[in-house]
Homo-oligomer: A and B are copies of this chain.
Amino acid sequence: MDEFPADKRAGQALARPQVVILGAGFGGLSAATALRHAPVDITLIDRRNYHLFQPLLYQVATAGLSPAQIASPIRRIVSRQKNVTVLMDKIVAIDKSASEVVTSKRRIHFDYLIVATGARHAYFGHEQWEEFAPGLKKIDEATEIRRRILLAFEQAEATVDENERRRSLTFVVVGGGPTGVEMAGAIAELAHRTIVHDFRHINPTQTQIILVEAGSRILPAFPDKLSESAARQLSRLGVTVMTEAAVTDCGNDGITLRDGRRIETATIIWAAGVMASPAGKWLEAQCDRAGRVVVDATLRLPGSDNTFVIGDTAIVTDVNGITVPGIAPAAKQMGYFAAGSILGDLKGSPRRKFKYRNYGNLATFGRSSAVADFGGFTLSGFPAWLIWCFAHIWFLIGFRNRLVVFLDWIVAYVSFNRGVRLITGGEN
């Protein structure tokens, strides 16, 4: 009676195909909504109760936005879509031979499985660094980073020790990809503009923000000249960009670089590595170094016809030979594609191959500072930033928060105010 539809085993007569989707990120949610009129029963499983607009998570970490402004309850998003059952639960295993997903509470049968469990940050053999250098994939991580950044200023204000003050006013961001660049720019803006009048014993404009990148340039996924433009824009904001600077040690009071240099800092933020969720292990599939399941342009798990792996969990070469990037628009396209393949099966159409559409690549670092790459055509500075703003507000679709974020941004632009400067968590 109160069983989940998918609780019924394969042996029983099932009216409709059972589609199980793991993960309610951009990929999983797109797949679910694309199946809204399909004669299938969908079980959407996520360990959290909300969908997170991850591209703006760095704004939570730097006190620009509240968590609720970039997160929306999954149940509300699919509230009216009656063929979806949401289950908040953790995946423990996937039993391929029985076509069952095993969660912490039950086993759930599937006729189709879409694996979209995303990725998290990784330290590649240096997991002990996490304590000193938290990463930025979850809301609780973002509020923890916010707590550390704001506490560093408090400590600098309260101490009488010059060395401790200098260490507290030095922030290191490790990793020159979009997240690292956004974090560094946002901390610079917080320090040099927002809190400038708030302290009596320190001068927040003397804050040092250092962006450390192991490779030869920041934003390596962008064209060379945008990397250069980004470095120039960051340095105008007061960020010191260090390239060819691999981290060999992370500790309580600083980092050490491969060439032996030492940076004393109380706050390290890790934006250097990403590791896929354990889906590869659950599926006993071939994975790349970052744990992503290798799938071909049909997005099917090799050797399986009814299991798709999409989004950051997969490493995909599309029909044109392009390696699909690990970004939100790509995950959405894969979600729609996997749903389309299921719909095609129901109609008896042959499977097609995924073609990634690149609508452009954006990164921002602060007010009026951004770069945009649209294939042949690039922008930087204010025009790129305007496009970034509109794109991000636009894609907050499905959130009631679009208007509120928009108002907040207007207020922030006019006032340099970051209202979410709350130190929560910890022992307070």
Contact = CB atoms under 8 A, between A and B. Distances in A.
B422 A75 contact: no
Interface string A1-23: 01110000000000000000000
Contact of A154 (B76, B88, B404, B417): B88
Nearest to A74: B198
A422 B49 contact: yes
A72 B420 CA distance: 8
Chain A: interface secondary structure?
A: loop
Interface stretch (A61-69, A93-101, A176-184, A257-265): A61-69
Contact of A76 (B76, B85, B89, B421): B421
A336 B401 CA distance: 38
A232 interface: no
A420 B417 CA distance: 22
A98 to B, nearest CB: 19
A197 interface: yes
Interface string A160-185: 10000000000000000000000000
Nearest to A85: B200
A400 interface: yes
B198 A79 contact: yes
A105 interface: yes
Contacts of A89: 158
A45 to B, nearest CB: 10
Interface string A377-406: 000000000000000000000001101100
A158 B105 contact: yes
A195 to B, nearest CB: 7
Contacts of A37: none
A250 interface: no
6 contacts: A3-B160, A66-B67, A73-B198, A79-B197, A86-B198, A87-B158
Given A87-B157, A140-B425, 9 more contacts: A2-B160, A48-B428, A66-B67, A79-B197, A88-B157, A105-B158, A138-B428, A140-B428, A425-B425
